[in-house]
Amino acid sequence: MSRAPANDGLRIDWGRLLRALEAHYAVGRWRRPLLRPHRGDPFQVLISTRLSYLARDEATARASKRLFEAYPTASKLAKARRPDVEARVRPVGMARRKAANVIAISRELGRRHGGVVPATLEELLDLPGVGRKTANAVLQFAYDVPAITVDGHLLRVCNRITGWGAKTAKEMEDRLARAVPELLWSKLNPVVVQHGQNLCRAKRPSCGVCPIAGSCARAGVE
Ligand code: SF4
């Protein structure tokens, strides 16, 4: 199978590539990105993304469901007892630290923002423990603001496609922001993450049946 050469990403037709992936995953039973069930609820997107740090997608989904059953809003979670939150988020690991963090975020939302999740990158980054991935996820999935949310799947898949060898999420975000038309930014995460969950897995990617193999440098893939 031929490989596309590693490149600056500007020669890739990102619109065509994303459409090919969307069409592929529109048919059949595939794993779906975690944030889709919480789309549109800024608080749940924010908290779910914080819980997802170094956790498997299934564990994050389970912990989020258990947490939001009892504490669906910032005002409710702000008043929660830590041991109960800790028990609910245990599937994601680092439960004690993550429980304390999501309670702290909820209290800050009440104290500084009237219980409402802010809609600017700067204000989001100012919340306790919130980094670029979480802030961009809130902008993108809750407020429909064009943003590039880089998680482990997106970093790995886009490095394989382009051969950039980006080491950090911020480096990948900057490169993609230069190479991909802004109109497509918000499509990148859901579509590419789904590809990372299914065919372009970390181990043994299924390049032989991949719908974008002709546009992919397959960098780092044996
Ligand atoms: S599955 Fe293979 S061909 Fe497809 S994007 Fe991943 S590395 Fe490229």
Pocket (CB within 6 angstroms of ligand 1): 157, 160-161, 199-200, 205-207, 210, 212-213, 216, 218, 221
| CA of 143 relative to ligand 1 center, distance in Å | 31
pLDDT in tens, 131-156: 999 999 999 999 999 999 999 999 99
Structure tokens at 30: 């595939």
| CA of 35 relative to ligand 1 center, distance in Å | 23
Structure tokens at 109: 């939302």
Q: Using pLDDT thresholds of 50, 70 and 90, give the confidence band for residue 11.
A: confident
Ligand 1: nearest atom to the Cα of 1:
3
**Is residue 67 predicted with pLDDT exceeding 80?**
yes
pLDDT of res. 206: 97
pLDDT of res. 56: 86
Q: What is the average per-residue pLDDT within 2-10?
A: 66
The CA-CA-CA angle for residues 94, 85, 99, to 5°, reads 40
User: What's the pTM value of the predicted model, to 2 decimals?
Assistant: 0.85
Q: What is the average per-residue pLDDT within 93-104?
A: 97
Instruction: Count other Cβ atoms within 10 Å, centred on residue 64.
Output: 25
151 tagged catalytic: yes
| Among protein residues, the one whose CA lies closest to atom 6 of ligand 1 | 200
| CA of 171 relative to ligand 1 center, distance in Å | 21
pLDDT in tens, 68-83: 999 999 999 999 999 9
pLDDT of res. 58: 87
Give percent above pLDDT 70 in the chain.
Answer: 94
Q: What is the mean pLDDT of the chain?
A: 93
| CA of 203 relative to ligand 1 center, distance in Å | 11
pLDDT of res. 222: 82
57 tagged catalytic: no
Q: What is the average per-residue pLDDT within 202-210?
A: 96
| Contact between residue 38 and residue 97 where contact means Cβ atoms under 8 Å apart | no
Q: What is the average per-residue pLDDT within 159-177?
A: 96
| Among protein residues, the one whose CA lies closest to atom 2 of ligand 1 | 207
